[in-house]
Amino acid sequence: MIPFPTAKDVRMIPFVSLAAIAAVAPAAAPLQLETRILAERPAATAGAAPMLAPARRMMPGDPLVVELVYRNTGTAAIAGLVLANPIPRGLAYRGPQAAAAPAPELSVDGSRFGPLSTLVVPLPGGGTRPATADDVTHVRWRLPAALAVGGTGRLAFRAVVR
């Protein structure tokens, strides 16, 4: 078993990049963010959705959900919000957690984002190869609508312990 971040450690994982902060206009309201790393456990009944619980100790291959909960605590709506998330070390990206959320953009270098099918990874001797989910280093969401005062939301992606 490998130790996995506790709730205290999760707060120290750098979740939102400067791109997310820079996306808020200078006069915009504050944005409160919380990162949760949740373990995915089989459902108690057949056909039910898997249960999520705070991750404690995980083994390689264990499925997780990395969740970002956001809230506008200010006095003005926040428009054009972009939230970028580096994949925590020791995890590999596996896909979006919910189909209803805005589709995430992915990156293998933290600077160029797009669908996984459009990304490439440079090879040591030159050239490139198509990127795979294991190559993803960052996930980014563009919120389609302004976040109203007091508004909240949740974005998440599936991952696995490396």
Q: Give average pLDDT by consecutive 10-residue segment, the chain, 162 residues.
A: 38 33 46 92 82 90 94 94 92 87 92 97 96 97 95 95 96
The per-residue pLDDT of the chain, averaged, comes to 83
pLDDT in tens, 21-58: 333 444 444 999 998 999 988 888 888 888 899 988 89
Report how far Cα 79 is from the mean position of its chain's Cα atoms. Answer: 20
Confidence at residue 46, expressed as pLDDT on a 0 to 100 scale: 84
Report how far Cα 52 is from the mean position of its chain's Cα atoms. Answer: 16
Q: Map tokens 């992915």 to a residue.
A: 106
Q: Which domains does the chain have, with CATH numbers?
A: 2-41+56-103+138-161 (2.60.40)
pTM of the entire predicted model: 0.76
Phi, psi of 23 (to 5 degrees): -70, -15
